Structure 1
């Protein structure tokens, strides 16, 4: 029997690798002789770098970069086990968590640090860069990132514009002639789990601006400024209408418009990078999960991506989560065959976080007991 264990992280309590190890430990207590393969997963958001590094035997690189408000911040990226692929989470350099709530202002915040991480990855001589976008503090259309890589955004006086989404209205011309030439020989892939366009009522500013500190007046200004950027960028208005270009305050737009990147579903990129289909095709069962499984899980989240890939080979899939909502059963229509929660009774959230490893191990033991009973494995 081969059991593939492919969870996402359980946020605020376990990394994907720690979750996979807990599941394995619980199941081994009941089915010790099975072959277990651990594939820590992610969907392009927080934890993507660590999951891919853990799964491929890669390494973490640490760098100091420009933070959202222009200050130096510690950041990181990963080099996968093949030595040729770098993985970046833009939130590590330009994330909302790096800005105190009282200082959040997308008119001022910049994505420059993300560009500095891309440049650092290029310095490693990689041929493939995966950029996970999400959790940003920025709404600058990726201009800061592009500036860090040599792009120039000039006002009417021929001077570089300042940082932040508020400065985009002053752009008179864009000069990409000095972009880092190494970008031309690198495959740049964007892992994204949202479908928002750049502008409009479902765009970057309207949907994500408020959580970054924008009031209604600021949202209107930011949206107009992004529209102005798109009107000047090469093929900008056409690109701006594409799904995902509004991700990370318009960073998705810049990656496509200025760096010729490919924008794909985050979980699909991770599945491909981990050669998931090759690893799962001979499995008897697949165990997946994350901190919360709900009605939104079917929209590009890890458990469904894993389930769909497993179902190509007709393999049963079990989902384990910290919490299950009333609408979580919709996942049964998308490849997951059974759901289990690790919380067995009333419990305060801090207590659940502190006991998460034990709770997941215990629930996994119960899952293994059901499997053993159902398929008649001898003791």
Structure 2
């Protein structure tokens, strides 16, 4: 029997590759099956790792971090044969690079994301897949635009300072200096975020507080993002809201808006994009049963996360789908309706406590894999 292992990460505990290794050890120890592996991701953190596991090469470069003047080493994945690069915004201005007491989305910039884009294009990429999860900024992609050559200036003709807080001073936008190397480059944003740029479901209102925005800053950031949107759309000679109201414009602190408007990018579900560059569908054709999983199974899992995408594709082919997770908050009915044959959790189906599952999940995962083998593969 051929078992396809297509798992995401246990966030903060195991990468997708480490989770795959632990489950493979348990399955092979039980015997009676051939294990096929395929990395998965959903456009958030782990997307670059999935591309690397699928055979892409790792490239590193130095870019601006969450704040101006801060340098960080960022990674992306590149396939010279495909001339395709897989990037994560979080590698540059990611919230994970900051302690909680450092969060300041008023000042945080997406400039490093623009530098990351230019490095990939300079390496020869003609297709960019950009994962939009985990940004620290709420600047509407202003920093990215500036890094790519767009002029954002105040009423005195000075370049705008970094951060969403400075957008209130914006007086003019000039896209004439956009880097010529971007011409003809296909840009795909991998994200399941459907929020518009502004308003009660926009970037500032929904995501600003978790990035450090105060109660007073949130409405001001929203106004600033609207000011940016109006200026950019006027410059591009399109009607108000053409890009700002598009689903996903509010992703990554509004970086989605910048990519849609200035770069002509397209927005696609992260899971679908990742399935393509990892060769998931080819792997699925070989499988008799599928095992997927991630750290926590809850209602968010069912809303565009990797395991839900795996279950949908596999169940459409009438393949059984077994899920493995650290902890599950889904009812049996919810899991079944989403296409999962069974869900096994470290906390609940082994003797591990939550603390033990976080500290050292490998032996418990191997135990679950052996249980799955005896129950579903015999």
Q: Which residue number corresponds to residue 92 of structure 1?
A: 91
The counterpart of 2:365, out of the listed 345, 357, 360, is: 360
Q: Could you list the runs of 5+ residues in structure 2 that have no partner in the other structure?
A: none
Cross-structure match for 2:61: 63
Answer yes or no: is the 8 Å Cα contact 1:294–1:328 preserved in 2: no
Question: Which residue pairs with 1:377 in the alignment?
Answer: none
Match status 1:282 vs 2:270: no
**Distance across 1 between alignment mates of 2:186 and 2:374:** 45
Aligned to 2:23: 23
Taking structure 2 as the reference length, the TM-score comes to 0.94
Partner of 2:375: 370
Q: Is the contact between residue 38 and residue 279 of structure 2 (CA under 8 Å) also seen in structure 1? A: no
Query: Aligned equivalents of 2:177 and 2:254: distance in 1?
Result: 22
Unaligned stretches of 5+ in structure 1? 374-379
Q: What's the secondary structure of 1:224's corresponding residue?
A: helix
Q: Secondary structure at the match of 2:157?
A: coil
Q: Give the equivalent residue in structure 2 for 1:196.
A: 195
Q: CA deviation at 1:83?
A: 5.0
Q: 1:215 aligns to what?
A: 214
CA RMSD of aligned residues (A): 1.6
Q: Give yes or no for contact 1:277–1:310 (8 Å, CA) kept in 2.
A: no
**Cα distance in 1, alignment partners of residues 368 and 34 from structure 2:** 19
Aligned equivalents of 1:221, 1:272: Cα separation in 2: 40
What's the secondary structure of 1:125's corresponding residue? coil
1:340 aligns to what? 344
Matched with 2:36 is 37
Where do 1:313-332 residues align within 5 Å? 313-327=317-331, 329-332=333-336
Quote how far apart the aligned CAs of 1:157 are: 2.1
Q: Where does 1:1-379 land on structure 2 (aligned, <5 Å)?
A: 1-32=1-32, 34-55=33-54, 57-70=55-68, 71-80=70-79, 82-234=81-233, 235=238, 237-327=241-331, 329-343=333-347, 344=349, 347-373=352-378
Deviations 1:70-92 (A, max 9, x none): 11122111114745211111011
Give the SS at the match of 2:327: strand
Say if 1:128 and 1:187, in contact at 8 Å, map to a contact too.
Answer: yes
1:105 is displaced (CA, Å) by: 1.7
- How many Å separate the matches in 1 of 2:353 and 2:338? 31
| Kept in 2: contact 1:73–1:93 (CA 8 A) | yes
Deviation at 1:204, TM superposition (A): 0.5
SS at match of 2:115: helix
CA distance in 2, matches of 1:328, 1:157: 62
Deviates more, 1:81-90 or 1:203-212: 81-90
Which residue in 2 is equivalent to 1:376?
A: none
TM-score using structure 1 length: 0.94
Q: Please say if residues 130 and 189 of structure 2, whose CA atoms lie closer than 8 Å, have aligned partners that are also in contact.
A: yes
1:320 aligned counterpart, secondary structure:
strand
How far did 1:30 drift?
2.0
